[in-house]
Amino acid sequence: MLDTFWELLWYTLLVFAFVAYLIILFHVIVDLFRDRKMSGIAKTLWIIFLVVVPYLAAFVYLIARGSGMAERQIEAQDAAKQATDQYIQKVAGKSSADQIADAKALLDAGTITQAEFDILKSKALS
């Protein structure tokens, strides 16, 4: 199959080029679907272009829309981080200080008694 060193080198180069293309292709496709400003028709045309002339289309996309790819990726990461932070805050609940402040506000409003406040405070501190 691979009789000489040069055939092995050529085969390795081809495999490398194919894997590199696949990585670029996945990034381009993800960016296409991440872009909310681009119309569906434009996205479809890019996909067809990627299928018909794969390497050329990928390089043209990187040249034409490369700077926006980084911006859209940063926006997606920021949105994911905000969603994660909101989920953690929701699940974690309030801090002990917040719970004591809420109980103190209830005590000051006359909603709870001093004994109930002390119970709530001890629960928050434990």
DSSP code per residue over 5-70: HHHHHHHHHHHHHHHHHHHHHHHHHHHHHH-SSS-HHHHHHHHHHHHHSHHHHHHHHHHHHHHHHH
In the predicted model, is pLDDT for residue 89 greater than 80?
Answer: no
- Provide the mean pLDDT of the chain: 89
In the predicted model, is pLDDT for residue 91 greater than 80?
Answer: no
pLDDT given at position 46: 93
- The whole-angstrom separation of Cα 59 and Cα 46 is 12
**Which whole number is the average pLDDT over 37-47?**
93
Contact present, 19 and 41 (Cβ < 8 Å): no
- The whole-angstrom separation of Cα 49 and Cα 56 is 9
In the predicted model, is pLDDT for residue 99 greater than 80?
Answer: yes
User: Which token pair is 103?
Assistant: 């109980």
Q: Residue 31, Cβ neighbours under 10 Å: how many?
A: 21
- The whole-angstrom separation of Cα 20 and Cα 13 is 10
Q: Where residue 66 falls among pLDDT bands split at 50, 70, 90?
A: confident
CA-CA distances (angstroms) from residue 113 to 10, 97, 122? 83, 19, 14
pTM: 0.60
